[in-house]
Chain A
Amino acid sequence: MSSDARSARWAWLAVAGLSVFIAAFAIGCGSSDSSDSTSAGGEMLTDVGKGEGELNLICWPSYCEDGSTDPDVDWISDFEKQTGCQVNVKIGNTSDEMVQLMRTGQYDGVSASGDATLRLIDGGDVAPVNTDLVPNYADIFPGLKDQPFNSVDGQMYGIPHGRGGNLLMWNTDEVKPDPTSWSAVFDPNQAAKQKGHVTAYDSPIYIADAALYLMAHQPDLGITNPYELDEDQFNAAIDLLKQQREFIGEYWSDYAKQIQSFANGDTTVGTTWPYQYLALQAEGDPVKTTIPEEGSTGWSDTWMISSEAQHPNCMYMWMNHITEPQVQADVAEWFGEAPANSKACEPQYLKKGPFPDVKHCEKYDASGEKYLDDLYYWTTPVSDCGDDRGDVCKTYDDWVQGWTEVKG
């Protein structure tokens, strides 16, 4: 009995000690470095020296191929030979994941979409880029330079990589006739036909897809930009997504899982990236895609350099390498997107890519003349609505919360 009482006393002492330790730690953290969270980011490089022998990248799937997926698809081995920079690739499946990985400070660079770029710039995680040190920057489409998502006050924070739209994909054996509108996944009457087989992208940013649909189908909500949603508009989008939840088989964020789901028939209709479509098509699976009549959300990606990069020279060399015309043509054909380098659209390069097609740039509207400029590119929602509504818009925090509620 007495030993029991003694051990109980010890347990209480331990707990008390631990709480004191925690409290001290919390106070210490609270008072220190709260000021450096908004630092301006690292220094800009003035010249590119010798490679540091290594390079750690965070890439969207299929942006960094070294021949391990397909021996003919390889734009890393040459780079390693030329520069001596050994490339280590970490795949990111969502922008949120990429931002979090960048914040570890263990990576030199990232292929960031518009919803990650601003967060990284604002958090001081990436450094401004000296475009003079990247010769291929000169050939980048002018429409991609000095954009709000990749620059601040005329200073570039990265090198544009490529862009494209999220597609509606469907299984042609199951979904008839061919859908032309996002109502295939949002209109309850139509989605019900594929109940349990509809898919959607598992990220808060998918709320914009619902908002885009409402923009066309419920004009009285007055949505002008799917990333600038006030309370009513946001709630309408969330309600639509909750309604869609009933028809969802599974949400996807891992592209490989989505390919498998479409191939097995677990998923028959939903949003996708061109990469999954091309992969399924190459396997002979009965799938088709379209950019529906409402338009679509999309991505415009930028190579950014970490403000804590341990291999900045290698990163600059990489930014130039990945924007070489031939590499751009290769990546664009492999992933299924519009290249950022205008020269990549020349037939000599397109002919040598993994899916040779001299019309690739026309098909993906690389110059942005047909539809590419009308896409709503992923960006980070902030409270400032960007118009006379003022600071009443839902922030990304709310979007994250909303997405958890949608999934229930």
Chain B
Amino acid sequence: MGHRLADLFHGRPRLQAGALLAGPVGWLVIGYLGSLAILLIASFWTLGELSGEVERSFTLDNFKTIVDDSVYRTVTLRTVGIAAAVTVTDALLALPLAFYMAKVAKPSRQSLLVVAVLVPLWSSYLVKAFAWRTILSEDGILNWALDPLGLSGPGYGTLAVWLVMSYIWLPYMIIPIYAGFDRIPDSVLSASEDLGAKAWITFRRVIWPLVFPAIVAGSIFTFSLTLGDFIAPTLVSSTQFIGTVVKSTITTNLPLAAAYSIVPILIMIVYLLIARRLGAFEHV
């Protein structure tokens, strides 16, 4: 039996590859794309009036609602806005930190910093989100610390969501940028200096073009993770985002929720196409 199987595969590289890949590809197509397909199908269904049960008859009403009803546009724009704000914030924070880690710090300290950046990822997302809920609360530590200065924290709201999301997704931005800096040979920087470039010129003309694809790669994480999040926003605000609307609609109107969840998928497809143009996938 074993021999026959071996004979079967002998000298047939295509069959070998096919057998090896059948499992993962099957999972990808059936488990992953399949569930997306079902989601897409559900978005064409409708609801029974009293029972609120899904009725499987074809309609485009759900998409019409999403396009016509201004509230969905507002929520979409708000979500894209916060995702962009979080991405920019994280990029601004991550750039100097990653540069220091990769180019300035001593090797021993370098690994220590990498660990420090990664450690928060070991604790649960929920714990971090709830911690922020406590921090930002009326009686929380932030207000307590700011009170002597006559100030008060942002409280719950959109600002709080921006703060919490920026905190939670920061490591996902630091690591790719750190890897990006790490790939730039020190000799390139020395060469730039030898040729008379000032620090700013070196950054703009040498470092930036080399590290930019890494920033775009990191931004894919921060942008997409913020775009779909629905837990932290409900913990620190009552503001609606795409994720929270889908989450609350899914219990009341599944087809509409399915239709609306197509929106972030489309946004991400566009984002990924742009990222590819900018070279984000070339070294990953």
Contacts and interface: CB of A to CB of B under 8 A. Distances in A.
A196 B140 CA distance: 16
B18 to A, nearest CB: 14
Interface string B86-121: 000000000000000000000000000000000000
B225 interface: no
A401 B41 contact: no
A400 B260 CA distance: 14
Interface string B243-262: 00100111111000000000
B56 A29 contact: yes
A183 B140 CA distance: 29
Given A94-B251, A96-B252, A123-B51, A30 B56 contact: yes
A266 interface: yes
A26 B53 CA distance: 17
Nearest to A268: B138
B48 interface: yes
A317 interface: no
Which among B44, B138, B240 has the highest number of chain A CB atoms within 10 Å?
B138
B251 A96 contact: yes
A362 to B, nearest CB: 37
A400 to B, nearest CB: 4
A275 interface: no
A34 interface: yes
Which among A38, A118, A408 has the highest number of chain B CB atoms within 10 Å?
A408
B202 interface: no
Contacts of A382: 49-50
Given A119-B51, A251-B238, A408-B74, A204 B252 contact: yes
Nearest to B71: A405
B249 A395 contact: no
Which among B48, B55, B56, B137 has the highest number of chain A CB atoms within 10 Å?
B56
A25 B38 CA distance: 9
A407 B252 CA distance: 15
Interface in A1-45: 18, 21-22, 25-26, 29-30, 32-34, 37-38
A100 interface: yes
B53 A37 contact: yes
Nearest to A382: B50
Interface string A193-205: 0001100001010
Contact of A103 (B33, B53, B55, B58): B53
A249 B156 contact: yes
Contacts of B52: 99, 119, 123, 380, 396-397
A97 interface: yes
A62 interface: no
Interface string B136-156: 011110000000000000011
Interface residues of A, number: 47
Contact of A400 (B38, B44, B240, B252): B252
Contact of A29 (B41, B74, B139): B41
B203 to A, nearest CB: 33
Contacts of B252: 96, 204, 396, 400
A407 B238 contact: yes
Contacts of B75: 408
A397 B37 contact: no
Contacts of A380: 50, 52
A404 interface: yes
B56 A266 contact: no
Nearest to A245: B238
B210 interface: no
Contact of B238 (A100, A248, A395): A248
B50 A250 contact: no
B249 A30 contact: no
Nearest to A250: B238
B48 A123 contact: yes
Contact of A118 (B41, B50, B55): B50
Contacts of B155: 196, 249, 266
B40 interface: yes
Given A30-B58, A122-B50, 7 more contacts: A26-B58, A37-B48, A124-B51, A266-B137, A396-B52, A404-B71, A404-B72
23 contacts: A26-B58, A29-B56, A37-B55, A100-B250, A100-B251, A118-B50, A119-B51, A120-B51, A123-B48, A197-B138, A202-B238, A202-B248, A249-B156, A249-B238, A250-B156, A251-B238, A266-B137, A382-B49, A396-B252, A397-B52, A401-B65, A407-B238, A408-B74
Interface of A: 18, 21-22, 25-26, 29-30, 32-34, 37-38, 94, 96-97, 99-100, 103, 118-120, 122-124, 196-197, 202, 204, 248-251, 264-266, 380, 382-383, 395-397, 400-401, 404-405, 407-408
**A-B residue pairs, 6 tightest by C-beta:** A123-B51, A122-B51, A96-B251, A265-B138, A400-B252, A123-B53
